[in-house]
Amino acid sequence: MTADRHTIEFEKMHGLGNDFVVIDARTRDSGLSESLITAIANRHCGVGFDQLAVIEQAEDADAHLVFYNADGSTSAACGNATRCIARKLLDEGGQAALTLTTARGFLVAREAENGLVSVNMGHPQLDWHEVPLAHEMDTLELPIEGAPTATGMGNPHCTFFVEDAEKVDLEALGARMEHHPFYPERTNVQFASLVGENHLRMRVWERGVGPTLASGSSSCATAVAAARRGLTGRQVQIDLDGGTLHIDWAEDGVWMTGATMHVFSGTFTVDFVEASQ
């Protein structure tokens, strides 16, 4: 056994406090198991993350991305992690734009002004079976107290529009709604309030994670829901606990623009990896 075979290199990144462990598996196996993923997610005994992202080789794109939640479950989309990895790959290749693949499909990322990164998260999924919901219903206003809007962005979302997002009991309501029977794959939950023209304040509960400081796919879903309900236009500013994202529901998909940060690089030791498998 060589140390290289059992250690795993990683990078810690975040997008507005929505934090990730990123493992580059383009030249080697990631070496991940569900138990190792949950061990890494532990903020006391591991590193901690909202999502873990694995970069893999892709034949028809610059890279393929796989996402895991903190409970070890997979997610087809993670907008902020996609932006963070896009920043890494743009800098690495000296490119102005690149194409990534995920379980969601092809995603285009590009440089934006002031060092920001934009990612096209694709077209929203608006039909009940695409979200998916348990049975046919109107996705604009679900028959649930508060009449939330259901949106698919490669993962399911449930968006409540409230008078004041700051006053919502995120822990209680988010946990309950994540497991609502209307959502067979569970759901991300957002509480948003209109604070100005095309300007929303939003708080997020992510399935398999809990409260997060920011969420890219949740921001996209909320912007789409707000536009569908006539609360905003199709270009909005969304203020999250960790910062601001700009969302543009354009003809070619939902573009998300914001800041990224590479915090540090590290290596999981042989002892940690073997004890966590």
First to last CA, the chain: 16
Please state, rounded to an integer, the average pLDDT across all residues of the chain. 95
Percentage with pLDDT > 70 across the chain: 98
How far is it between the farthest Cα atoms of the chain? 61
Cα angle for residues 229, 235, 239 (degrees, 5° grid): 90
Domains (range + CATH), the chain: 3-121+260-276 (3.10.310.10), 149-251 (3.10.310.10)
Tell whether the model's pLDDT for residue 167 goes beyond 60: yes
Report phi then psi at 193, rounded to 5: -130, 145
Q: Model confidence over 93-151: pLDDT tens digits?
A: 999 999 999 998 899 999 999 999 999 999 999 999 999 999 999 999 999 999 999 99
Q: Model confidence over 48-100: pLDDT tens digits?
A: 999 999 999 999 999 999 999 999 999 888 999 999 999 999 999 999 999 99
Q: Which amino acid type is present at position 156?
A: P
Tell me what the mean pLDDT of segment 252-266 comes to. Answer: 97
Which residue's entry shows tokens 């990534």?
100
Q: Which amino acid type is present at position 255?
A: W
How many angstroms separate the CA atoms of 217 and 9, rounded?
A: 27
Q: What is the pTM of this model?
A: 0.92
- Is the alpha carbon torsion for 168, 140, 231, 188 positive or negative? positive
Q: What is the pLDDT of residue 104?
A: 86
Q: At CB < 8 A and 24+ separation, what contacts does 120-123 make? A: 120/252, 120/253, 120/254, 120/255, 121/77, 121/79, 121/82, 121/153, 121/154, 121/216, 121/217, 121/220, 121/253, 121/254, 121/255, 121/256, 122/153, 122/154, 122/253, 122/254, 123/253, 123/254
Tell whether the model's pLDDT for residue 2 goes beyond 50: no
Tell whether the model's pLDDT for residue 153 goes beyond 50: yes
Tell whether the model's pLDDT for residue 235 goes beyond 80: yes
Tell whether the model's pLDDT for residue 1 goes beyond 50: no
Q: Are 38 and 70 in contact (CB under 8 A)?
A: yes
Q: What is the pLDDT of residue 5?
A: 54
Tell me what the mean pLDDT of segment 178-194 comes to. Answer: 98
Tell whether the model's pLDDT for residue 277 goes beyond 90: no
Which DSSP category does 215 fall into? -
